[in-house]
Structure 1
Amino acid sequence: MSRVVVTGRIPEAAVEKLRAEHEVDAWQGPESIGREELLRRVAGAHAVVSLLTERIDFELLDAAGPQLKVVANVAVGYDNIDVAACTERGIVATNTPGVLTDATADIALGLILMATRRLGEGERLVRSGRPWTWGMFFLLGSSLRGKTLGIVGMGGIGQATARRARAFGMEIIYQSRSEIDPGIAAELGARRVDLDELLSVSDIVSVHCPYGPATHHLIGAEQLAIMKDSAYLINTARGPIVDEAALASALGDGQIAGAGLDVYENEPRVHPGLLELENVALVPHLGSATVETRTAMAMLAADNTLAVLSDQRPPAPIN
């Protein structure tokens, strides 16, 4: 039996699947595991099942030892993993793509509605107990039909978001490293443009690209200045893709109309400038937060782990 370390709480079905074949050390604390405790626990592990809150770097790989065979991330994004370091040591790194596509697209659409229809403002007003009266100009928002949605990163989640937006009567443009399948482009009526054009013509910009050095602060002060003053920015990808300070400034100055964020540069901390604003909807990284999706993610991570430990190709390898 190999030793598997699970760095955080995951659905029990996945833990039991691992435990049926291997020795499992699963962190059960109510909060994220501390760094020192994590380094201590991974010593001698053959597999690490990691959450996106844990940094998998040279230090951790050294602490684990040369017998480590696989790091299975319970997330589609893997900016918390030094993939090059894993590859250099012959360690397989895996993630959980596909299973969280619909849940994250739902959150993106939800944030679009929250921002454009000012739902967060309305909910806060009612809860505050302050008096209010219906009126023709009370909390006016913006409709979606006929508006243009610009999608930055047209992978599976971007495409799923586009399908939902089409149901609301929106037009779709996208920026991506490569063209999407012509059949999908035809289905969505989607046209590929460069980033500057997307920012300048979109009524709503939704970010779905992976995070890495090339996309750090991809949306900053210069890009926000290109957007319409009636436009909205939505981010359900990774926080550091958007420069939060620049976004807070743009929202405060009326440079853009509003925003909806599920992810942040320094989670769980949110830029204080954003917290003071009414025209931004803020939710705490809920993109994949359904029972069904989180269970599917954990089970896929278990499948990845078991495959590598059996010297088989995992379902979702990164490297």
Structure 2
Amino acid sequence: MARRKPLVVVTRKLPDIVETRMRELFDARLNVDDVPMDAAQLAEAVRVADVLVPTVTDRIDSALLSHAGENLRLIASFSNGIDHIDVASALNRGITVTNTPAVLTEDTADLTMALILAVPRRLTEGAQVLGGGEEEWSGWSPTWMLGRRIWGKRLGIIGMGRIGQAVARRARAFGLQIHYHNRRPLPHAIEEALEATYWESLDQMLARMDIVSVNCPHTPATYHLLSARRLKLLKRDAYVVNTARGEVIDENALIRMLEAGEIAGAGLDVFEHEPAVSPKLVRLAKQGKVVLLPHMGSATLEGRIDMGEKVIVNIKTFMDGHRPPDRVLPSML
């Protein structure tokens, strides 16, 4: 008799090629309408599934896991970050957690670099002028739409993991001087290749940077890492870019500084209370003080397919009785 295929519940619509492969390998229950599951639907999913495939929009906390059925043994998250999952609670219940690391590095770094360019060079403001904005373009002028030069500026990267290093490689090509703060210094060979300066003190680094890029994960230790006090350390002509997680920055404090002109601008792809975006940020965007993007840092077709392939490998490996390659442990948080 053929072995029963595991019931795999997928919480959101994934690329067709990924879903098709899942249907071939597993008893996959798909979300073809892509409507986010509510709490009751998620509770039912963890009750019946052998494997749950959530995304960053699903809150997998201890309360939800209390509904887990005895068959749920794997949460194979379609995500790089795992701050939406209570990993410790899952492991206490004998549920393995996996994620999809290392496939979104280049895509996220590309978008980070795009924001590093877009904010000082006022790219969205310029695009709006030709796209039906309030201001009408009357032709080139020596003093119109002046931004700030990128070349020669100091970039301070917070979090020098895979994405931070990929940002540094791109930024060097644009003539930026690379500085970084990390839990520990990079190996000397990597630091030398990136011509990067390590700062043990985040406070000291922030006070000296022209542009700050947030590229660290959201953990209890990094919640509001850029607090109101730390944001005050920035120079008035400095810019902040965040493509990591909104919770790393005290968003209200950042808004107050932008409104008061205490910081030159910001480029944000993530927000503290997603999917809600502060109306104050939207107003600041219309004023040209901030560039806002709808959490699209990793949004490439290639990246999403790579993520799906990792999810499939993790499920298949686990179901074959082996340790999945992308297992998440509390020590990694």
TM-score, normalised to structure 1, is 0.97
Work out which of the residue numbers 4, 19, 26 in structure 1 matches 2:23: 19
* Alpha-carbon distance in structure 1 between the residues aligned to 2:186 and 2:293: 30
Instruction: Give the CA RMSD over aligned residues.
Output: 1.3
One-letter amino acid matched to 1:118: R
Shift of 1:191: 1.3
Q: Is the 8 A contact 2:47 2:72 kept in 1?
A: no
- Helix, strand or coil at the partner of 2:221: helix
Matches within 5 A, 1:9-158: 9-127=13-131, 128=133, 130-133=135-138, 134-158=140-164
Answer with 156-165 or 56-65: which moved more.
Answer: 56-65
* 1:312 is the counterpart of 2:318: no
Moved more, 50-59 or 198-207: 50-59
| Shift in alpha-carbon separation, 1:62–1:309, aligned structure 2, 3 A | farther
Stretches of 4+ aligned residues off by more than 4 angstroms:
none
> Which of the residues 178, 185, 190 maps onto 1:184?
190
Quote the residue 1:242 is aligned against. 249
Q: Which structure exhibits the higher relative contact order, with contacts defined as CA atoms closer than 8 Å and separated by 6 or more residues?
A: 1
Match of 1:270 among 265, 270, 277: 277
Distance of 2:17 and 2:65 partners within structure 1: 27
Q: Percent identity?
A: 43
CA distance in 2, matches of 1:137, 1:270: 33
d(CA) in 2 for partners of 1:182, 1:293? 30
User: Deviations 1:114-154 (Å, cap 9, x if unpaired)?
Assistant: 10101111122222153233221211111111111000000
Alpha-carbon separation, structure 2, partners of 1:266 and 1:42: 25
Q: What is the rounded CA distance, in whole Å, between the counterparts of 1:286 and 1:239 in structure 2?
A: 13
CA distance in 1, matches of 2:202, 2:226: 10
Cα distance between partner residues in 1 of 2:88 and 2:80: 17
| 5+ residue gaps, structure 1 | none
Q: Distance in 2 between matches of 1:130 and 1:169?
A: 32
The residue that corresponds to 2:229 in the other structure is 222
Report the secondary structure of 1:141's partner residue: coil
Which letter does structure 2 place at the counterpart of 1:99? V
For 2:53, the aligned partner's letter is V
8 A contact 1:18–1:306 mirrored in 2: no
Verify the 8 A CA contact 2:155 2:178 in the aligned structure 1: yes
Deviation at 1:212, TM superposition (A): 1.4
SS of structure 1 residue aligned to 2:72: coil
TM-score, with structure 2 as normaliser: 0.93
Equivalent position SS for 1:260: strand
Structure 2 counterpart of 1:213: 220
The number of residues matched between the two structures is: 319
Deviations 1:200-221 (A, max 9, x none): 1111000011101111111122
- Contact 1:14/1:295 (<8 A) preserved: yes
| Counterpart in the other structure of 2:293 | 283
Q: Which runs of 5+ in 2 are unaligned?
A: none
Paired residue for 2:311? 301
Q: How far apart are residue 37 of structure 1 and its match?
A: 1.8
Amino acid paired to 2:260: D
The equivalent position to 1:204 in structure 2, one of 211, 222, 226, is 211
The aligned counterpart of 1:4 is 8
Partners of 1:12 and 1:61 in 2: CA distance: 29
Alignment partner of 1:161 out of 160, 167, 190: 167
Q: Which amino acid aligns with 1:89?
A: R
CA distance in structure 1 between the partners assigned to 2:106 and 2:119 by the alignment = 20
Question: How big is each residue's C-alpha offset from its partner over 1:186-242, in whole Å with a ceiling of 9 and x where there is no partner?
Answer: 110011102111111111000011101111111122111100111100000001111
2-structure distance, mates of 1:94, 1:137: 53
Q: Indicate conservation of the 8 Å contact 1:245/1:273, yes or no.
A: no
